[in-house]
Amino acid sequence: MSAAGIWLTVIVIGALTFALRFSFLALFGRGELPGLLERLLVPLPAAVLAALVVPALFYTGGSLDLSLSNERLVAGGLAAVVAWRTHSVLLTIGTGMGILLLLQVVF
């Protein structure tokens, strides 16, 4: 691809990405959301967040690992208890990273 072609590609991706991000924020400013959409949005944050977390614990190096030798699963499971009890980002990161490093050093 030529230099101009690469710039064009980057600009078009940037514009499309912005359009996706702005879409609903731009459309639903003044009026209310349609009823069905509003109901769909209630469980969405919990669903998205769970989907961002869970695979990162069960997959290591691109393959599924359900065993206890999966360090991320063990560290993540213990961090989940801290996350549940404290809701603290800092304590959750501290617990998860601390246990992961410990397991990597020990085993």
Tell me how far apart the alpha carbons of residues 90 and 84 are, in angstroms, rounded to a whole number: 13
Distance in Å, CB of 64 to another protein, minimum: 7
Q: Give the phi and the psi of residue 66 in degrees, each rounded to 5.
A: -95, 5
76: tokens are 């993540």
Per-residue x/- marks for another protein, 75-94, CB under 8 A?
xx--xx--xx--xxxxxxx-
Tell me if 13 contacts another protein by CB under 8 A. yes
- The neighbouring-strand residues paired with 35 are none
Tally the C-alpha atoms within 13 A of residue 24's C-alpha that lie toward its C-beta. Answer: 6
Tell me if 51 contacts another protein by CB under 8 A. yes
Binding residues for another protein, per CB under 8 A?
Answer: 1, 3, 5-14, 16-18, 20-30, 33, 37-59, 64, 72, 75-76, 79-80, 83-84, 87-93, 96-97, 100-101, 104
